[in-house]
Amino acid sequence: MKEFIINGNDAGQRLDKFISKTLKTLPQSLLYKAIRTKKIKVNRRRAEPGTVLCEGDSVLCFLPPEFFEEKYTSDPFLTLTPDVNVVYEDENVIVCDKRPGMLCHPDDQGEQITLIEHIKAYLYRKGEYDPESESSFTPSLCNRIDRNTGGLVIAAKNAAALRDMNEMIKEKVVDKYYLCAVHGVPEPGEAILTAYLYKDTKNNVVTVYDKPKQGRVRIVTGYKVLAKKDGDALLQVRLYTGKTHQIRSHLSYIGHPLLGDGKYGVNREDKKQGYKYQALYSYRLIFERGIGSLSYLTGKELTVKLENVWFYENFR
């Protein structure tokens, strides 16, 4: 038997969701059977899978000991030397400037040394994240960018901040701006583009079309030409929608693929010019309106140092 006392980060969850996160090796079938047969109780009373947990509640689990094995002994962040470039931080959120080449989350190949592990290591060493005192919550990313894209990524330090930041992103009150370098110079020099995107999940590639059809989602991308050099252009791009590979595929669709992008363009010659990655950087965030515990972020703007945008100097 093991007892879990619900803390602030655990509160507000359904019982079944809490148990799934806390006892990761417990099969779903056994989870629901244990709740049904009163082997999992809340405040020593029978509970339902949808029972919403409150801070201070006691969750009793009468289960075999193998399901209570320590979760954190082999987690990468425990021995990792943090590699994070912090742009902004407070008691609720941390915003980092991710370097190109680093994954945000583990991929299908099982790579574990990712941005979120570096953030957990950073907070762990600061004493702001103690895995032993948490049952179901870990610091989590609120947005993500591709491995070879650099720039701003938001992480939440607690469950309330995670819920509120996710709501802000859902409500589209977090404006996201990118810098990118493209082949050719788009005409006109400033525009808001609308198209329709189809995602091939199996091959991790998207295709852009000019007309809607079942399976396609509407995308809106704004751009502005900031500089021109040798027939190429530096753009500021604003994402009005945020879909997989949206900027890369949308700009390629209008005839201006990103320099260094081999998936939606041809990057053979780009590599010879030093474009190791696609020339794309999430460089600016504006919080139009904060929500809940993050209401104080209303109007806040964050920008990376332009010297960190590795291709920016090519257009000076």
Q: What is the pLDDT of residue 67?
A: 87
Tell me if the pTM is above 0.85.
Answer: yes
Query: Token pair of 100, please?
Result: 């190109």
Residues 31 and 116 in one domain: no
Residue 17 has pLDDT above 60, yes or no: yes
Which DSSP category does 99 fall into?
P
Q: What is the pLDDT of residue 134?
A: 87
Same domain for 148 and 17, yes or no, is: no
Which of 10, 37, 68 corresponds to the end of one domain?
A: 68
Number of domains observed in the structure of the chain = 3
* Residue 107 to residues 102, 115, 144, Cα–Cα distance (Å): 11, 12, 13
- Alpha-carbon distance of 18 to 12, in angstroms, equals 10
Q: Give pLDDT tens digits for 128-156.
A: 999 888 888 999 999 999 999 999 999 99
What CATH number is associated with residue 29?
A: 3.10.290.10
Same domain, 185 and 307: yes
Instruction: Report how far residue 129's alpha carbon sits from residue 122's, in angstroms, rounded to the nearest whole number.
Output: 9
In the chain the first and final C-alpha atoms are separated, in Å, by 65
Contact 208, 250 (CB under 8 A): yes
Backbone angles phi, psi at 198, to 5 degrees: -115, 130
| Predicted pLDDT at 93 | 98
Q: Are residues 154 and 178 in the same domain?
A: no
Residue where one domain finishes, among candidates 44, 68, 92: 68
Kindly report the CATH number assigned to the domain that includes residue 151.
3.30.2350.10
Residue 178: which domain range?
174-315
Domain identity same for 215 and 304:
yes
In which band, very low, low, confident or very high, does the pLDDT at 104 lie, cut at 50, 70 and 90? very high
- Assess whether pLDDT exceeds 70 at residue 50: yes
Quick check: 97 and 304 in contact, CB under 8 A? yes
User: Could you say which of 26, 42, 68 is where a domain stops?
Assistant: 68
> What is the DSSP pairing of strand 232-239 with strand 217-229?
antiparallel
Over residues 279-302, the pLDDT tens digits come to: 999 999 999 999 999 999 999 999
Summary count for the chain: helices (H), strands (E): 6, 15
